[in-house]
């Protein structure tokens, strides 16, 4: 009797696992440079503003 109960629980867990969205499919938010590239491609910012913001984002220098 206990084996049947355990088998039912295992079967239920396997069925739920199949339909539950795996954590690996969660999407990460876009990187700041990706957002900047998209805004430039859409024409929201001009070349000078794009280059300035890209320089700020990629600057590995002294900073504050």
- Domain range holding 63? 30-64
Question: Measured between alpha carbons, how far is 64 from 61 in angstroms, rounded to an integer?
Answer: 9
Buried b (16+ CB within 10 A) or exposed e, 23-45: eeeeeeeeeeeeebeeebeeeee
Contact predicate 30/20, CB 8 Å:
no
**47 found inside a domain:** yes
Q: How confident is the model at residue 53 (pLDDT cuts 50, 70, 90)?
A: very high
Tell me what the pLDDT averaged over the chain comes to: 85
**21 found inside a domain:** no
**36 found inside a domain:** yes
Question: Measured between alpha carbons, how far is 41 from 53 in angstroms, rounded to an integer?
Answer: 14
Task: Write down the pTM of the prediction.
Answer: 0.52
Q: How many domains does the chain have?
A: 1
**16 found inside a domain:** no
19-42 pLDDT, tens digit each: 776 665 567 788 999 999 999 999
């Amino acid at each position: 009797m206990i084996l049947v109960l355990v088998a039912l629980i295992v079967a239920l867990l396997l069925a739920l696992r199949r339909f539950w969205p795996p954590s690996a499919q969660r999407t990460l938010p876009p990187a700041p440079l990706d957002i900047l590239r998209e805004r430039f491609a859409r024409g929201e910012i001009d070349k000078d503003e794009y280059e300035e913001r890209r320089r700020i984002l990629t600057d590995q220098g002294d900073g504050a």
